[in-house]
Amino acid sequence: METDMTDKREADWRETLSDEQYRILRQCGTEPPFSGKYYHHHESGTYRCAGCGAELFSSGAKYESGSGWPSFYESLNKAAIREIDDRSHGMHRVEIRCASCDGHLGHVFPDGPAPTGLRYCVNSLSLDFEAKA
């Protein structure tokens, strides 16, 4: 269920998210590679933002990238993902955030498969999954 989180205070986030989810979604952390619950997840359905419930990715766009994180070649809706230039850690990347709640999701890279050539590399802890009915 998607809700508007633009006015949510950081104290509210700490109450609703686990410590690890808070570290990733609100402080731009990263979970260790190959550790996330959705890395080898193959059910059909929709991946949503763990912070606000916004629909982000379809299982149909998920693929095994070998990167250690869930990877998707496209988002469900371009407007659901906000891209930010990231020059931290001595490299240049494109950070991806939920456009609804501004939660950190991961990064997008130009080394994915056809048809988009993109690899949305996403932390499992920033996602919830809704199985297809």
Catalytic residues: 121
Residue 76 tokens, joined:
């469900």
The closest of 84, 76, 68 to 122, measured between CA atoms, is 68
Edge-to-edge order in the sheet of strand 81-86: 62-63, 71-72, 119-122, 104-109, 93-98, 81-86
